[in-house]
Amino acid sequence: MKVVKLYIYTLISALMINGCITPFEPEGYAQLENLLVIEGDISVNEQTEIIVSRSLKLNDISKRNYIKGAVVWVESELGVKFPANQVISGTDVKYVANTAGLDISKKYKLCVRTPDGKSYESDLVPVIISPDIDSIEFVTDTLNKRVTFYVNTHDDNNKTHYYKWSYTEDWEFTSHIYSSFEYNPLTMKITEIPSFQKNRFYCWNKDVSKTILATSTTHLSSDRVYRMPLVSMGSLDLRISVLYCIDVKQRALSREGYQYWETLRKNSDQVGGIFSPQPSEMKGNIKCITDPEETVLGFISAGYVSKKRFFASKEEIGVYYNPHICETVIPESFAPPVAWSTMFDTGYDVVSNSPSTNESVWAPVACVDCRIFGTKNKPSFWPNDHI
């Protein structure tokens, strides 16, 4: 019976493979477990966001060990303080200070007091103004069916030389099949979706950059960055299936700041995670005031951030491929008919229903409900009006 095969492969657990491999831990990393990590930079033209956490074991890079209840503030060289509020979103914890409009001629430092009473602060750092982002573009590799997004910038005054980027991604996508009906497992009935606005066809999702993106132009004859790669994706990636948006932030760094991030990037590439313990030379410019011998990880910069948002559609990119592996089933066509509850419990959802013919059409839920891969929360800046 066809229904017996419904989603059977999704019910098979992954095999546990036992091996005889001796764990390897690089020398010098063990003592860096559970160190304080302070991430973020002081911004003078937008709010400052800081993350305070503890370093993880080398083989535990899947999440951050956030510190809640810290007291965090930005302080000027004149002693003026700008307090940060703790903001919790799901499992994420950050500290946000309203620093837009700070005097760019002054130096600033970041100060943190943890719940155990220890105090930390960065060096006083000058505000570095980032030049404008010239453009964001993409290049399509038609042979390998990939697309890569790049950023371009330059400084006519030949004074910047060190750059760092981060980005936020937003993308619109759709389910494979448009459904006007849904099954309610509580009532065990099929009902029509009341309005187009509540459809399960159009969805959105978002993400943030997770790799270190920094470069130097000191080896070039001009202070110009051409096609610095930001992110790359293949032909099956949902991000480029309808409309993709990348919102890029650019910071100018000091030489010391660039050296910190470049060393961190090299070590992260080797051990597999930006939030893993790093070698002792990664202490940066943050120190513990109450215990000067304590090692602290992080480097704080202050700057005026340049920003640019860029959209690209599926048609413009031209490499997205949708395999459309979506089998549809009519449970009433079997003898005996398959119950709707059975269809739902085996991972299917309703596509359509016709009381006059006493037939309903079902497909795997991942083909019908786009919320499996995102949400109905359309970004406020989104250019279309699907919902």
Q: Concatenated DSSP letters for 116-160? A: TS-EEEEPPEEEEEPPPEEEEEEEEETTTTEEEEEEEEE-TTS--
Q: How confident is the model at residue 34 (pLDDT cuts 50, 70, 90)?
A: confident
Q: Which residues contact 92 (CB under 8 A, 6 or more apart)?
A: 64, 66
* DSSP structural state of residue 329: B
Residue 267 CB: number of other CB atoms within 10 A? 21
How confident is the model over 218-243, as a mean pLDDT? 97
pLDDT number for residue 2 = 39
What's the pLDDT tens digit per position in 171-193? Answer: 999 999 999 899 999 999 999 98
Helix ranges (DSSP H) in the chain: 255-271, 314-317, 340-345, 365-368
Q: Which residues contact 327 (CB under 8 A, 6 or more apart)?
A: 363, 364
The least confident of 28-42, 188-202, 297-311 is 28-42
Report the percent of the chain where pLDDT is more than 90.
Answer: 77
Q: For residue 199, which amino acid is it?
A: N
pLDDT score of 242 more than 90: yes
pLDDT number for residue 267 = 79
- Domain range summary for the chain, segments of one domain joined by +: 31-122+255-300, 180-203+324-372
pLDDT number for residue 272 = 47
The least confident of 83-92, 278-287, 309-318 is 278-287
Q: Are 133 and 152 in contact (CB under 8 A)?
A: yes
Q: What is the Cα–Cα distance from 8 to 331, expressed in whole angstroms?
A: 16
Helix ranges (DSSP H) in 272-338: 314-317
How confident is the model over 51-80, as a mean pLDDT? 87
Q: What is the Cα–Cα distance from 38 to 41, expressed in whole angstroms?
A: 10
pLDDT score of 387 more than 70: no
pLDDT number for residue 265 = 87
Angle of CA points 279, 232, 236, to nearest 5°: 125
For residue 194, give both structure tokens.
Answer: 């009341």
pLDDT number for residue 13 = 29
How confident is the model over 219-232, as a mean pLDDT? 97
pLDDT score of 5 more than 50: no
pLDDT score of 45 more than 80: yes
Q: Which residues contact 332 (CB under 8 A, 6 or more apart)?
A: 338, 358, 359, 360
Q: Are 298 and 264 in contact (CB under 8 A)?
A: no
How confident is the model over 302-312, as a mean pLDDT? 98
pLDDT number for residue 32 = 61
pLDDT number for residue 3 = 36
Give the C-alpha distances (Å, rounded to integers) separating 305 from 18, 250, 323, 378.
49, 6, 41, 26
What's the pLDDT tens digit per position in 115-172? Answer: 999 999 999 999 999 999 999 999 999 999 999 999 999 999 999 999 999 999 999 9
Residue 310: which H helix or E strand, with range? strand 306-313
Domain 31-122+255-300, CATH number (from 2.60.120, 2.60.40, 3.30.450, 3.40.1580) = 2.60.40
What's the pLDDT tens digit per position in 309-352? Answer: 999 999 999 999 988 789 999 999 999 999 999 999 999 999 99
Who has greater pLDDT, 249 or 27? 249
